[in-house]
């Protein structure tokens, strides 16, 4: 969330199938690997060991992360890391693995730092003195490999906390689509919608620079043109190509939220955490409603035109984009509303005021082009519960 005139920050990208082999070029001697044991095969483990060994380096697999980590797990793993004294941290897995590695890196380099201090936004000391971090995402969507954020659970309260600093951005993001080929359909769909939401929201963020908008619109277009094939094409070569394009676009969507901010769907995503729905699914579900609310907007109109949508003015283009997004989500297999997602009506309505309160106070909401009132936030959530058609109602 930099201001308009800050330099663009991002990881160094290494892109292409087989690009995991880049590890050998780093010429590091002591590598720790943070991973998800469910997806990291012995073959890949051996490949990483071999790549590090090519420079007479040693490799240790220290943390198998399968869910959102607790603070206590992170501190323990950072202690294990300290005893090995690595100069390279390799994180290979989904968003939780990458987020964990970012925090372990911090506590490895600054063991005395308190968790309280670590959670003060944009206040971390310089990272990368003892070790550099390489992120290898195996899902396509969170963008964690290039974002300044890491999300954790508090073990006692089960509340989510956010660590935020550009120091957390991994030095390298290796975008090797070979790791995405075995992603199950639903994960490809949900995480793809998360990435699409990042791109669309960054493109209209109040702090978005022209460069952010350009990257964001391009990334959104790539995802809209390829996600359906990435999720469900029966032709392996078509699916593999689409997954590769989406993998890159999702990282670029991470770059743009790091350099501006996510928006309304992220501000309104509390029902997801509360009812245990996947984050990407909730983003995709909310996207037509939040896009309609934030419309009309020049970036949405630009994207609509590039999709071949015709319209006489911004409002018409944006409404057609909203309708397009609704149909697109359905094709990807995302529920169109919370009722369809199986959320109980009375339970949802009992929490409505809380959800609306949290939504209007979220940073992502405040940086979106149009700030909803409490009543407007409630209406948006009610529409998203029942599936009322989202309408672009005003000209900004
Ligand atoms: Fe997200």
Q: Which single residue is written with the structure tokens 């149009």?
A: 370
- Domain assignment present for 140: yes
Rounded to 10 deg, the angle between the 279-294 and 314-332 helix axes is 160
How much is the average pLDDT of 371-379?
97
Task: Judge whether 8 and 216 are in contact, CB under 8 Å.
Answer: no
Q: Which residues share a beta bridge with 61? A: 33
Q: Which two tokens stand for residue 283?
A: 């983003």
Identify residues whose C-beta is under 5 A from ligand 1, the ion.
194
Q: How far is the CA of 359 from the centre of ligand 1 (A)?
A: 15
The chain-wide mean pLDDT, for the chain, equals: 93
- Domain assignment present for 372: yes
| Other beta carbons within 10 Å of 66 | 14
Does 121 lie in the same domain as 37? Answer: yes
Contacts of 70 (CB under 8 A, 6+ apart): 152, 153, 154, 155
- Domain assignment present for 35: yes
Does 297 lie in the same domain as 206? Answer: yes
Residue 162 — very low, low, confident or very high, per pLDDT cuts 50/70/90?
confident
Task: Judge whether 108 and 102 are in contact, CB under 8 Å.
Answer: no
In percent, the amount of the chain with pLDDT more than 90 equals 82
- Domain assignment present for 132: yes
The pLDDT value given to residue 309 = 98
Q: How far is the CA of 363 from the centre of ligand 1 (A)?
A: 13
Query: Angle CA(334)–CA(246)–CA(318) in degrees, nearest 5?
Result: 60
Return the closest-CA partner of residue 232 out of 220, 219, 221, 243: 243
82-92 per-position pLDDT tens digit = 889 999 999 99
Q: Which two tokens stand for residue 82?
A: 């300290």
Does 191 lie in the same domain as 175? Answer: no
- Domain assignment present for 206: yes
Q: How far is the CA of 201 from the centre of ligand 1 (A)?
A: 10
The pLDDT value given to residue 38 = 87
Does 381 lie in the same domain as 251? Answer: yes
Does 19 lie in the same domain as 160? Answer: yes
The pLDDT value given to residue 396 = 47
Q: Which residues share a beta bridge with 14? A: 174
Residue 175 — very low, low, confident or very high, per pLDDT cuts 50/70/90?
very high
- Which domain-ending residue is among 152, 180, 208? 180
192-229 per-position pLDDT tens digit = 999 999 999 999 999 999 999 999 999 999 999 999 99
Does 216 lie in the same domain as 162? Answer: no
Q: How far is the CA of 197 from the centre of ligand 1 (A)?
A: 7
Q: How far is the CA of 158 from the centre of ligand 1 (A)?
A: 19
Q: Which residues share a beta bridge with 31? A: 59, 88
The pLDDT value given to residue 118 = 92
Q: How many domains does the chain divide into?
A: 2
The pLDDT value given to residue 395 = 56
Return the closest-CA partner of residue 195 out of 262, 269, 122, 105: 262
Domain range for 356 is: 185-386
**Dihedral angle at the C-alpha atoms of 43, 136, 49, 23, nearest 10 degrees?**
130
Does 232 lie in the same domain as 321? Answer: yes
Does 158 lie in the same domain as 28? Answer: yes
The pLDDT value given to residue 153 = 72
Q: How far is the CA of 95 from the centre of ligand 1 (A)?
A: 10
Does 237 lie in the same domain as 105? Answer: no
- Domain assignment present for 4: no
- Domain assignment present for 5: no
CATH of the domain at 16: 3.40.50.1970
Does 157 lie in the same domain as 18? Answer: yes
- Domain assignment present for 201: yes
30-45 per-position pLDDT tens digit = 999 999 988 889 999 9
Q: How far is the CA of 362 from the centre of ligand 1 (A)?
A: 14
How much is the average pLDDT of 188-192?
96
Does 56 lie in the same domain as 42? Answer: yes
Q: How far is the CA of 259 from the centre of ligand 1 (A)?
A: 14
pLDDT for 6 beyond 80: no
From CA 310, how far away is CA 362, in angstroms rounded? Answer: 34
CATH of the domain at 342: 1.20.1090.10
275-330 per-position pLDDT tens digit = 989 999 999 999 999 999 999 999 999 999 999 999 999 999 999 999 999 999 99
Contacts of 376 (CB under 8 A, 6+ apart): 293
Q: How far is the CA of 42 from the centre of ligand 1 (A)?
A: 30
Indicate if the alpha-carbon torsion angle 339, 341, 345, 350 is positive or negative. Answer: negative
- Which domain-ending residue is among 149, 180, 211? 180
- Which domain-ending residue is among 180, 195, 226? 180
From CA 234, how far away is CA 231, in angstroms rounded? Answer: 9
Q: How far is the CA of 296 from the centre of ligand 1 (A)?
A: 22
pLDDT for 1 beyond 70: no
Phi, psi of 133 (to 5 degrees): -110, 135
């Amino acid at each position: 969330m930099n201001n308009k005139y800050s330099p663009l920050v991002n990881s160094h990208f290494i892109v292409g199938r087989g690009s995991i082999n880049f590890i050998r070029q780093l010429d590091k001697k002591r590598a720790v690997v943070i991973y998800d044991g469910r997806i990291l095969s012995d073959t890949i483990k051996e490949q990483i060991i071999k790549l590090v060994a090519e420079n007479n380096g040693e490799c240790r697999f220290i943390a198998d992360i399968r869910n959102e980590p607790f603070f206590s797990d992170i501190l323990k793993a950072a202690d294990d890391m300290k005893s090995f004294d690595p100069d390279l941290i390799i994180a290979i897995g989904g968003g939780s693995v990458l987020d964990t590695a970012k925090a372990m890196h911090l506590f490895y380099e600054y063991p005395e730092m308190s968790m309280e201090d670590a959670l003060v936004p944009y206040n971390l000391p310089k990272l990368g003195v003892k070790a550099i971090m390489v992120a290898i995402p195996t899902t396509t969507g969170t963008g964690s490999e290039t974002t300044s954020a890491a999300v954790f659970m508090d073990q006692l309260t089960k509340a989510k906390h956010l660590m935020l600093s550009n120091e957390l951005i991994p030095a390298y993001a290796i975008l090797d689509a070979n790791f995405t080929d075995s992603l199950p359909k639903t994960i490809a769909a949900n995480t793809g919608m998360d990435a699409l939401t990042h791109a669309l929201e960054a493109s209209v963020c109040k702090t978005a620079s022209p460069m952010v908008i350009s990257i964001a619109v391009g990334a959104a277009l790539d995802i809209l043109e390829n996600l359906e094939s990435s999720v469900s094409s029966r032709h392996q070569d078509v699916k593999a190509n689409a997954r590769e394009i989406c993998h890159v676009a999702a990282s670029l969507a991470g770059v743009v939220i790091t350099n501006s901010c996510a928006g309304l769907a992220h501000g309104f995503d509390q029902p997801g955490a509360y009812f245990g729905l996947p984050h990407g699914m909730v983003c995709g579900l909310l996207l037509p409603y939040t896009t309609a609310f934030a419309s009309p907007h020049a970036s949405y109109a630009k994207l609509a035109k590039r999709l071949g949508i015709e319209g006489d003015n911004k409002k018409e283009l944006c409404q057609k984009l909203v309708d397009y997004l609704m149909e697109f989500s359905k094709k990807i297999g995302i529920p169109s509303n919370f009722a369809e997602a199986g959320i109980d009506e009375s339970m949802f309505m009992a929490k409505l005021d809380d959800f609306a309160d949290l939504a209007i106070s979220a940073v992502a909401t405040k940086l979106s082009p149009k700030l909803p009132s409490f009543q407007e936030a409630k209406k948006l959530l009610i529409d998203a519960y029942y599936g009322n058609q989202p309408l672009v109602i005003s000209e900004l």
